[in-house]
Structure 1
Amino acid sequence: METIIKIRNLNKYYGSNRVLKDINLDINKGEIIGYIGANGAGKSTTVKIMLGLIEEYSGSVEIFGEKIVENKSNYKRRIGYIPETADMYENLTPREYLTFIGSLYGMSYDDIDEKALKLMELFGIQDVYDGRINSFSKGMKQKILIIASLINDPDILFLDEPLSGIDANSVLVFKEVLKELAKKGKTIFYSSHIMEVVEKLSDRIILLNDGQIVADGNMESLNTELKEGSLEGIFNKLTGFDDHEDIAKEIVSTISRGESHERL
């Protein structure tokens, strides 16, 4: 298999806080990677380093066979990114926004415009192609971000909670899009808290806990090793979070205290 991302001894500090601790990863062409961990585990930091958004770190990150510190712009033409939330130019229309994004990848206006309108149609929002983004719902804005990430036909797609806010039908479509992209040799790096989605989509799952990789494998191998039956169970076991049921009972007990109120 062709290794498309290679990370060696990656460490990142914020002040005295060591967020990433000797991360070593080889990610192959055509893999769908589920990258999971609790808040603060280091997931977003890892992704932002690979995107070139964070430059102060120790260790080595190679993408497409080149160290990203030595190839700061060329590799970015071959990647796409869907953030959970993004600062969009909301006074623009989707036509203006998407043609601007496409131009950053060196695409021609006509090519971007044609492709963007078709993708808007496939996501069911072609009627607002010339509407102002600031009037859109969260789900519609998320669809625009998805289209922007795909417009340049990227070889690697980085996803950070990409399904946030979009409707159920579009979720189904997008899941199939990821599978089709992987078949074409595209690499998907998927970071999410939604365990069911990661479990169903990923052919390889990497679990980060306190800045360290504590599991790396497919669901079958992880289940064989840990015998938990689900990704949620594996996550809870490896992160040491096993008191969720007790906490839930305490929450319900707390909100049930006090005087009962007669319901009308």
Structure 2
Amino acid sequence: MVANYYFTKFVISFDGLHFNKQKGKYIIMENLITLENVSKTYGNKCVLDNINLKIVRGQNLAIIGDNGTGKSTLLRIIAGLSSLSSGKRILCTNGDKLKIGYVPDRFPKLNFTPYEYIYYMAKIEGFSQTYIDKCSSELFQTFNINLMKDTWIKYLSKGTIQKVAVIQAFMSKPDILLLDEPLSGQDNKSQKKFIDILQKFKTEESCIVLACHEMNLVDKLTDEVITIEDGKIISNIHNKDNDYGNMLIRFKVCEGFDASMIKKFNGLLNIVENGQLVSVLINKHYSDIAISKLLQMGCSIASVNEDNL
């Protein structure tokens, strides 16, 4: 379910300046959460391995990677919902409380209506009736689910339930908003609307961290992208606004090569086969994962360029 967590703030920590494109000015990068050498294992399986990451105010971070690479686990650790097998999770910020809004990929189908759920969660947090009515009414209208606010959640579609979860998180005005596959279950029109809403949320001095596959969401919302493979961060791209584009990877295949495996790569835009030489055009943010997989498959990388087929 959606959860909001409050932590005592005990340190002010700065990490330079960050240019906020929407506000047109530099803001101090205030560290909110720092992960140091964090690992997480379940039984004999290592899900996250030696993760080092800073979550800062004003940052909009995307976590990308294939299914099962540890993205959701990393979000839960950032939220404080999952214990660490090793390493440290450090809260580094000023004031009395750090508020975290966490929206999981799967939300329970409750015997509450959206309005009832929002109302009770807001009351638990101590919000006034006036604020609840005003804010919930605006958000139900914004997310275009006003006609469904009195329908039991268990009867709503996955995409609509996801919107209810996000509305509850928005009402809390979190310092950090964590979203796990937020576009899951939504049609193209709803996805566009959702992205527009999140872009407006970015104007606040908060932080968005999202795990997703949709590159349109990554490109429009985030300024930093980390790529996870086999529980490890294999790339970290900062100032993403200056780093759009695709990568053209040319490689030689070995005997018995199965081209169908390439077609399953995330971010793949095109593929051209010419005997033993194959060229793939792939979104830049997935290029490191693609190269790693090609090498594991026994391929020989001939060239990597920013280009078009």
Give the shorter-chain TM-score range: 0.7 to 0.9
Instruction: Return the alpha-carbon distance in structure 2 between the equivalents of residues 238 and 149 of structure 1.
Output: 37
Q: Within the alignment, does 1:45 sit opposite 2:73 as a pair?
A: yes
Q: Name the stretch that deviates more: 99-108 or 27-36.
A: 99-108
Q: Within the alignment, does 1:207 sit opposite 2:197 as a pair?
A: no
CA shift in 2, pair 1:137/1:224, >3 Å: closer
Q: Which has the higher contact order (CA 8 A, sep 6+)?
A: 1
Matching residue of 2:287: 234
2:143, 2:194 within 8 Å by CA — same for their partners in 1? Answer: no
Q: Name the stretch that deviates more: 220-229 or 157-166.
A: 220-229
Matches within 5 A, 1:12-91: 12-65=40-93, 75=98, 78-89=99-110, 91=111
Match of 2:148 among 120, 128, 137: 128
CA shift in 2, pair 1:10/1:113, >3 Å: same
How big is each residue's C-alpha offset from its partner over 1:81-104, in whole Å with a ceiling of 9 and x where there is no partner? 221111142x11111111112123
Q: Which has the higher helix share?
A: 1
1:84, 1:161 within 8 Å by CA — same for their partners in 2? Answer: yes
How big is each residue's C-alpha offset from its partner over 1:29-81, in whole Å with a ceiling of 9 and x where there is no partner? 11110101122211111111122221243211123439xxxx9xx53xx1212
SS at match of 1:9: strand
Matching residue of 1:157: 177
Displacement of 1:211 in angstroms is: 1.3
Instruction: Return the alpha-carbon distance in structure 1 between the equivalents of residues 153 and 246 of structure 2.
Output: 47
One-letter code aligned to 1:3: N
Matches within 5 A, 1:146-225: 146-218=166-238, 219=240, 220=242
Q: Within the alignment, does 1:107 sit opposite 2:120 as a pair?
A: no
CA shift in 2, pair 1:37/1:134, >3 Å: same
SS at match of 1:3: strand
Q: Which has the higher strand share?
A: 2
SS at match of 2:131: helix
Displacement of 1:9 in angstroms is: 0.8
Matching residue of 1:117: 137
Instruction: Return the alpha-carbon distance in structure 2 between the equivalents of residues 149 and 97 of structure 1.
Output: 12
Displacement of 1:154 in angstroms is: 1.0
- TM-score using structure 2 length: 0.68
2:37, 2:52 within 8 Å by CA — same for their partners in 1? Answer: yes
CA shift in 2, pair 1:222/1:8, >3 Å: farther
One-letter code aligned to 1:34: A
Q: How many residues align?
A: 235
One-letter code aligned to 2:186: I
Instruction: Return the alpha-carbon distance in structure 1 between the equivalents of residues 158 and 290 of structure 2.
Output: 34
Instruction: Return the alpha-carbon distance in structure 2 between the equivalents of residues 222 and 35 of structure 1.
Output: 16
Instruction: Return the alpha-carbon distance in structure 1 between the equivalents of residues 286 and 41 of structure 2.
Output: 30
Q: Within the alignment, does 1:140 sit opposite 2:163 as a pair?
A: no
Task: In structure 2, list runs of 5 or more residues that go unmatched.
Answer: 1-28, 250-280, 298-309
Instruction: Return the alpha-carbon distance in structure 1 between the equivalents of residues 282 and 152 of structure 2.
Output: 46
1:159, 1:189 within 8 Å by CA — same for their partners in 2? Answer: yes
CA shift in 2, pair 1:7/1:56, >3 Å: closer
Instruction: Return the alpha-carbon distance in structure 1 between the equivalents of residues 42 and 50 of structure 2.
Output: 15
Instruction: Return the alpha-carbon distance in structure 2 between the equivalents of residues 105 and 60 of structure 1.
Output: 28
SS at match of 2:34: strand
Q: Within the alignment, does 1:8 sit opposite 2:36 as a pair?
A: yes
Instruction: Return the alpha-carbon distance in structure 1 between the equivalents of residues 223 and 66 of structure 2.
Output: 20
How big is each residue's C-alpha offset from its partner over 1:227-248, in whole Å with a ceiling of 9 and x where there is no partner? 876236515435415899xxxx
- TM-score using structure 1 length: 0.78
Q: Name the stretch that deviates more: 225-234 or 171-180.
A: 225-234
Instruction: Return the alpha-carbon distance in structure 1 between the equivalents of residues 246 and 157 of structure 2.
Output: 43
SS at match of 1:2: strand
How big is each residue's C-alpha offset from its partner over 1:186-222, in whole Å with a ceiling of 9 and x where there is no partner? 1000101223422332211001111111100144458
SS at match of 1:6: strand
